[in-house]
C-alpha cells in the first residue's frame, strides 16, 4: 500500500475509533444545530447571547469536514475530523461582537462561512475557575517563552549548515510548541506559518516553518538556501511568545484546547503524517499529551469540586497513555515512527482514544 494511502486509511480508522461509543449529540436544550454538507453550512441560530454556546454539527455531506468559529481570523473554537454521517459538539465562550462560523468540507480552504452576532453579557467565571484559567495561561506563557531559545538553537544549526546537529534539535525544540498549539492556532496566522505541512499550505502562499526545514534536513537540499526560512521561523515564534502574554482565555477555551491536542495525536501523530520526513512523531505525541494534561492540572480544583469521578478517570487514562508512550522511550527521546509495528501503533491509538472520551466532557463541566 502506498504510504500516502496508508496514512489516509490510518487516519480514517482512528477517527472512527474516537467516535465509537460516543452518544450522538442532538440539538435542543439551547444547543445550536449545524448541518454541514459538501456545499452548505446551515447554522440554525445566528444571533446568540454572550456566554457559552454549544453547536451540534452534523455532517450530511460525503467528505470529512471541520467546523470553526472565528473572530476575524482568530480561531475561537474548532471541531475537526467530522466524518460523513457523524455529529459532534463544540462549546465556545463568546463575548458580544461579530463572528463567523465556518464548515470546511474536505478540511481545506477558508470554508463556507456564516456570520454570527453575539450580544449581551455572559456569565462571569467564579474565583476558582478564574484562578484555574490564570494558572493555565501562566503555563502557556512559559512554554512560549521557552520555545524561543530552543528554536534559536535549531535555527543556528540550520544556518551553520550543521545538518546532524539541526536534526538532533528538531524534535526537542518543537515540544514547547506542541504543548500549546491550540493557543497558537487561536491567533490565526501563526500556526500556518510555524507548523504547516506541505499539503496544508494554501495556494499562492509560501510554505514556511518547522516542516519546511524538516523536509530539507532529511532530504538533499543545500541548507545554505534555508537561512531566510530559518530566520523567519525564529521571528514567528518570538512574535508568538509576545502575543500569548496578552491572550484572553475562558475556562471553555482551555478545556477545548485539551481535546484539540488529543485530536492532533489521533489524526496526525499516530499515523506518521505530521513528521513525515524525520519520523519523530512520538516527540510531538508527548508534547500534545503533556499539554492536555496541563489543562487538567490547571482545572483540577474545579473538577474536584464539580465532577471528582471524571477527574479520577482522567488521571487513570493519562497514566495509561504515559505508560504506553514510555515503552518506546530511547535515551532522552523516542523510537522513530517507522520503527513501530502496527500492533504498537494500535496500542498507542487505543490509549489516546480511551483518554479522548473523558476529555471531551471537561468543557461541559467547566461551563456549568
Radius of gyration for the chain, computed over Cα atoms and rounded to the nearest angstrom: 20
Q: Dihedral sign, CA of 286, 287, 289, 294?
A: positive
Encode burial over 245-280: b for 16+ CB neighbours within 10 A, e otherwise.
eebebbbbbbbbbbbbbbbbbbbbbbbbbbbbebbb
- What would the pLDDT profile of 272-301 be if each residue is shown by its tens digit? 999 999 999 999 999 999 999 999 999 999
Domain residue spans in the chain? Answer: 31-122, 125-368
The tens digit of pLDDT for each residue in 55-106 reads: 999 999 999 999 999 988 888 888 888 999 999 999 898 989 999 999 999 9
- What pLDDT sits at residue 219? 93
More confident residue, 122 or 220: 220
8 A C-beta contact, residue 68 and residue 111: yes
State the CATH class of domain 31-122: mainly beta
What is the pTM (predicted TM-score) of this model? 0.82
Which residues, in sequence order, are CB contacts of 28 under 8 Å at separation 6+?
A: none
pLDDT tens digits, residue range 302-323?
999 999 999 999 999 999 999 9
Are 289 and 263 contacting, i.e. CB atoms less than 8 angstroms apart?
Answer: no
**Model pLDDT, residue 29:** 56
DSSP string, 193-225: HHH--GGGSPTTS---SHHHHHHHHTTT--GGG
Whole-number Å distance between alpha carbons of 357 and 362: 10
Superfamily of domain 125-368: M75 peptidase, HXXE motif (1.20.1420.20)
pLDDT at 210 (0 to 100): 97
pLDDT score of 367:
84
Set of cell numbers at residue 268: 496526525
- Listed in sequence order, the residues at least 6 apart from 96 whose beta carbon sits closer than 8 Å to its beta carbon are 50, 118, 119, 120, 121
Determine contact, residues 325/282, Cβ cutoff 8 Å: yes
pLDDT of residue 234: 98
Least confident of 27-36, 189-198, 294-303, 333-342: 27-36
pLDDT of residue 268: 81
For residue 238, count other CB atoms closer than 10 A to its CB. 16
Amino acid at each position: 500500500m502506498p504510504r500516502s494511502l496508508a496514512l489516509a486509511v490510518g487516519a480514517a480508522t482512528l477517527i472512527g475509533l474516537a467516535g465509537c461509543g460516543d452518544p450522538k449529540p442532538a440539538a435542543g436544550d439551547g444547543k445550536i444545530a449545524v448541518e454541514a454538507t459538501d456545499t452548505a453550512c446551515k447554522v440554525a441560530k445566528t444571533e446568540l447571547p454572550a456566554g457559552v454556546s454549544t453547536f451540534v454539527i452534523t455532517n450530511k455531506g460525503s467528505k470529512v469536514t471541520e467546523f470553526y468559529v472565528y473572530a476575524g481570523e482568530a480561531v475561537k473554537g474548532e471541531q475537526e475530523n467530522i466524518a460523513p454521517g457523524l455529529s459532534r459538539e463544540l462549546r465556545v465562550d463568546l463575548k458580544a461582537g461579530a463572528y463567523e462560523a465556518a464548515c470546511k468540507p474536505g478540511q481545506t480552504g477558508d470554508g463556507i462561512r456564516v456570520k454570527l452576532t453575539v450580544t449581551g453579557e455572559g456569565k462571569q467565571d467564579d474565583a476558582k475557575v478564574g484562578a484555574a484559567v490564570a494558572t493555565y495561561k501562566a503555563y502557556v506563557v512559559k512554554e512560549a517563552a521557552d520555545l524561543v531559545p530552543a528554536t534559536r538553537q535549531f535555527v543556528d544549526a540550520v544556518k551553520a549548515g550543521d545538518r546532524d546537529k539541526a536534526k538532533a534539535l528538531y524534535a526537542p525544540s518543537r515540544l514547547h510548541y506542541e504543548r500549546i498549539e491550540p493557543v497558537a492556532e487561536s491567533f490565526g496566522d501563526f500556526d500556518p506559518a510555524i507548523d504547516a505541512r506541505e499539503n496544508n499550505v494554501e495556494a499562492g502562499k509560501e510554505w514556511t516553518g518547522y516542516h519546511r526545514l524538516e523536509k530539507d534536513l532529511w532530504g538533499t537540499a543545500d541548507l545554505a538556501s534555508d537561512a531566510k526560512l530559518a530566520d523567519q521561523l525564529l521571528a514567528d515564534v518570538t512574535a508568538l511568545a509576545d502575543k500569548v502574554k496578552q491572550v484572553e482565555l475562558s475556562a471553555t477555551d482551555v478545556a477545548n484546547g485539551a481535546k484539540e491536542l488529543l485530536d492532533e495525536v489521533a489524526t496526525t501523530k499516530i499515523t506518521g503524517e505530521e513528521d513525515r520526513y524525520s519520523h519523530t512523531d512520538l516527540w510531538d505525541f508527548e508534547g500534545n499529551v503533556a499539554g492536555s494534561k496541563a489543562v487538567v492540572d490547571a482545572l483540577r480544583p474545579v473538577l474536584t469540586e464539580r465532577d471528582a469521578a471524571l477527574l479520577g478517570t482522567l488521571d487513570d487514562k493519562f497514566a495509561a497513555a504515559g505508560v504506553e508512550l514510555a515503552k518506546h522511550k530511547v535515551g532522552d527521546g523516542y523510537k522513530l515512527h517507522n520503527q513501530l509495528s502496527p500492533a504498537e501503533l494500535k496500542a498507542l491509538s487505543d490509549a489516546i482514544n480511551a483518554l479522548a472520551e473523558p476529555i471531551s466532557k471537561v468543557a461541559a463541566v467547566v461551563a456549568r
